């Protein structure tokens, strides 16, 4: 469980493809405090730490994860939004984020709006019903509030802090980001189906 508040920007140090793909990620986290088996959200997907040393940790990504997220396109040097798992008693600054990415959103446009950047994104039609004006969602692991919705397109504002504290400052139209619907929207939709 996560909050969507990014606490580090890591960097992919090494990628090893075998049965699964091992990703070694450089971090500013104190890795002596990270236990093997811990969950870390890496650009959204919740991944399990399988190895570590000073300044880095390693995770394994399955073929399913690589096919449903941006991880399949990562290269050595790719910057990665990181968030450690929520602990009981931590501040809940964003919204409940599971790290179970639903798919990819396409960044359609970026335009200045005051000091912020207005991102317009597009999701597959099957996910449009989960996006609501003033609702929450996670993009590349970042908790965001939806400003407006138009079909399967929606807009979010990226304030200057988010531009510098996440990888969003480097995004451009045509880029894809990992998209996770709000967990409450998911359950409301499922309940609606059963009524």
Is 156 part of any domain? yes
Which of 56, 54, 110, 109 has its CA nearest to residue 80? 56
Q: What percent of the chain has pLDDT over 70?
A: 99
What is the residue whose two structure tokens read 């390693």? Answer: 58
- Residues 46 and 117 grouped into a single domain: no
Whether the Cβ atoms of residue 105 and residue 139 lie closer than 8 Å to each other: yes
Is 3 part of any domain? no
pLDDT tier for residue 184 given thresholds of 50, 70 and 90: confident
pLDDT tier for residue 189 given thresholds of 50, 70 and 90: confident
State the CB neighbour count (10 A cutoff) for residue 18. Answer: 7
Q: Does residue 192 register a pLDDT over 80?
A: no
Q: What is the pLDDT of residues 25-84, one digit of tens each?
A: 999 999 999 999 999 999 999 999 999 999 999 999 999 999 999 999 999 999 999 999
Domain that holds residue 64: 8-84
Is 92 part of any domain? no
* Residue 1: per-residue pLDDT: 87
- Burial class for 28, CB neighbours closer than 10 Å (0-12, 13-18, 19+): exposed
Q: What is the pTM of this model?
A: 0.93
- How far apart (Å, rounded) are the C-alpha atoms in residues 105 and 68? 11
Q: Does residue 178 register a pLDDT over 90?
A: yes
Is 93 part of any domain? no
Which of 54, 24, 67 has its CA nearest to residue 42? 24
**Structural domain ending residue among the three candidates 84, 112, 139:** 84
Q: Please count the structural domains in the chain.
A: 2
Is 97 part of any domain? no
Is 77 part of any domain? yes
Domain of residue 112, CATH code: 2.40.30.20
Q: What percent of the chain has pLDDT over 90?
A: 85
């Amino acid at each position: 469980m996560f909050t969507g508040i990014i606490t580090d920007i890591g960097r992919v140090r090494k990628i090893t493809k075998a049965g699964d793909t091992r990703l070694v990620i450089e971090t500013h986290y104190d890795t002596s405090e990270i236990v093997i088996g811990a969950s870390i959200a890496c650009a959204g997907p919740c991944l399990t730490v399988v190895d570590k040393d000073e300044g880095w940790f390693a995770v394994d990504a399955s073929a399913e994860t690589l096919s449903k997220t941006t991880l399949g396109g990562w290269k050595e040097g790719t910057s990665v939004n990181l968030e450690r798992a929520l602990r009981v008693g931590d501040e809940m600054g964003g919204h409940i984020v599971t790290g179970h990415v639903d798919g990819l959103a396409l960044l359609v446009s970026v335009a200045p709006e005051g000091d912020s950047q207005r991102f317009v994104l597009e999701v597959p039609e099957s996910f449009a019903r989960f996006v609501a004006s003033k609702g929450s969602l996670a993009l590349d692991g970042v908790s965001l509030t939806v400003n407006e919705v138009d079909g399967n397109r929606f807009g979010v504002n990226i304030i200057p802090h988010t531009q510098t504290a996440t990888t969003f400052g480097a995004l451009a139209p045509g880029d894809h980001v990992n998209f996770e619907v709000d967990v409450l929207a998911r359950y409301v939709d499922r309940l609606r189906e059963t009524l």
